[in-house]
């Protein structure tokens, strides 16, 4: 009887030991980091959609853009494209400098040689009073990079295809004659 009890106790301890070792341990992989600087060199096209047809830029209207982009330090040979849409979500009061600014929902996709990167976030649009009033119907419009990117801001980034699949991160947009976009990407965490 003692042998039988000892055998049962050892068996139970063995089973318990196996079950403790079989508990899956979650492992967090070190995120891989990738830093890029892209240059938005020039505007290929801009288009204004007067969604509510009120003859002026107002909440709900949107603008679409196509930009030439350089993946290296020079804009002389832009080899990539950035497609973007910006929807007006709020109009701010006309400033003392007669600059009309709008808060926007901005999203766009960089079509790069190694894959695509989608950017999203709040943005801003800055227009002089004369430029703002001149945009009164849907169609092509004449803007400069400083209108579209009047101030520095951050956007979220999602890798879409190619080398950027599974990467997420942030973009820091720095305005200027050529707009610099500093992108920091990380691999997503995996749990086993």
Report residue 166 as tokens: 């599974």
Greater model confidence, 78 or 39: 39
**What was the pLDDT predicted at 32?**
74
User: Residue 11: which H helix or E strand, with range?
Assistant: helix 2-21
* CATH T-level fold of 33-187: AOC barrel-like (2.40.480)
Cα atoms in the 13 Å half-sphere on the side-chain side of 83: 4
Closest CA to 183 of 19, 38, 20, 10: 38
Closest CA to 187 of 168, 173, 171: 168
Greater model confidence, 32 or 19: 32
User: Residue 159: which H helix or E strand, with range?
Assistant: strand 153-162
Q: How confident is the model at residue 8 (pLDDT cuts 50, 70, 90)?
A: low
Structural domain boundaries in the chain: 33-187
Helix (H, G, I), strand (E, B) or coil at 40: strand
Q: Does the pLDDT of residue 168 top 90, yes or no?
A: yes
**What was the pLDDT predicted at 5?**
57
Q: Are 126 and 148 in contact (CB under 8 A)?
A: no
Greater model confidence, 147 or 117: 117
Q: What is the pTM of this model?
A: 0.76
């Amino acid at each position: 009887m003692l042998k039988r009890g000892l055998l049962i106790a050892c068996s139970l301890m063995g089973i318990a030991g196996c079950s403790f070792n079989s508990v899956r341990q979650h492992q967090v992989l070190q995120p891989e980091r990738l830093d890029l600087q892209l240059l938005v060199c020039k505007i290929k096209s801009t288009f204004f959609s007067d969604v509510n047809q009120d003859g002026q830029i107002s909440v709900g209207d949107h603008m679409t853009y196509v930009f030439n982009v350089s993946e290296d330090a020079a804009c002389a040979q832009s080899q990539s494209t950035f497609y973007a849409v910006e929807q007006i979500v709020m109009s701010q009061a006309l400033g003392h400098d007669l600059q009309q600014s709008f808060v926007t929902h901005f999203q766009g996709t960089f079509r790069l040689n190694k894959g695509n990167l989608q950017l999203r976030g709040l943005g801003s649009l800055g227009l002089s009073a004369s430029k703002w009033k001149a945009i009164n119907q849907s169609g092509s419009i004449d803007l400069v990079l400083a209108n579209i990117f009047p101030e520095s801001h951050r956007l979220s980034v999602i890798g879409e295809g190619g080398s950027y699949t599974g990467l997420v991160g942030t973009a820091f947009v720095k305005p200027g004659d050529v707009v610099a976009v500093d992108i920091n990407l990380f691999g997503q965490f995996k749990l086993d």
